[in-house]
Structure formats: structure tokens, C-alpha cells
Amino acid sequence: MNRLTIAALLLACAAGVAHADTRETQRMHLDEYAPYLQAPVDEFPFWSLYKWQLVAPDKVVVWSTINDAYLVTVAEPCAGLEWARDIGVISQQPHRISRRFDYVTFGRERCHIEEIRPIDSARMRQDRRAAGQ
């Protein structure tokens, strides 16, 4: 593992904690993102983990910047992801996260990324403003 990968992993772990208490809460959050999901992509630019949110036992929303969010689905089994208190992302290439090569990590677990779907964050914010949220 090169220094860049180690630095990215450490930044990811230090980025903060997101935590959903129940599967019902996670499902509710996933439903909020659903209308804004775009077609799956193979990879996305990644400089650091801005924040993250668990939304299902095998899904996490990661923000690579304040405006760029992605729904990441990991391959099962990925025991315990839904209860993770912190996560990291291991990337095999500098500044890119790929569904083919990369992993979401937490504790001692390493879960392969199966699917990446961008979230239209701008439209989501616009709709929330229009709804008065």
C-alpha cells in the first residue's frame, strides 16, 4: 500500500461519523435520495471523504465534496456495515473511487464496491428549498 492510499484512508476515517440508529431510519433516508439517483457509473473523483451516511445494510451515501454525493452499494456479505461508526474508502488509484477495484472499510471489514450511483444534489437542494425544508 503506497503512502497516498494510506493518507486517503486516514482522511476517510477522520472525516466524521454518520450513524443511523435503526433500519427504519436508514430506509427513510434511502427513500429521500431515491428520486435523485442517476444511472450507475464505474468511478468518481475522490480527494477526501467529506461526509457519509448509512442508508441500508449494504448501502452508504458518500460525499466527496460538499456538493458531490454518491450512493455506494457494497457486495454482500458485508457484515455490520449498517452499524458502523466510522468508515473509510480504499482506492487503488489516486483520487478515483472505482466499483471494479475499491472497497468500503470499517473496523476490520473490507467490502468490495458493487455499484456507484451519483446523486443529483443540486436538484435535491432545490426541491427541499421549494418545499420549505
Q: What is the pLDDT of residues 59-69, one digit of tens each?
A: 999 999 999 99
Residue 12, pLDDT score: 46
Q: Are 45 and 62 in contact (CB under 8 A)?
A: no
Q: How many angstroms separate the Cα of 62 from the Cα of each of 2, 128, 132? A: 23, 19, 25
Q: Are 26 and 56 in contact (CB under 8 A)?
A: yes
Q: Cα–Cα distance between 18 and 85 in angstroms, integer?
A: 7
Q: Are 116 and 97 in contact (CB under 8 A)?
A: yes
Nearest alpha carbon to residue 115 among 39, 20, 12 = 39
In this predicted model, which residue has the larger pLDDT, 129 or 9? 129
Stated pTM of the model = 0.80
Pair type for strands 103-106 and 43-45: unpaired
pLDDT one-digit tens code per residue, 80-125: 888 888 898 888 888 899 998 899 999 889 999 999 999 999 999 9
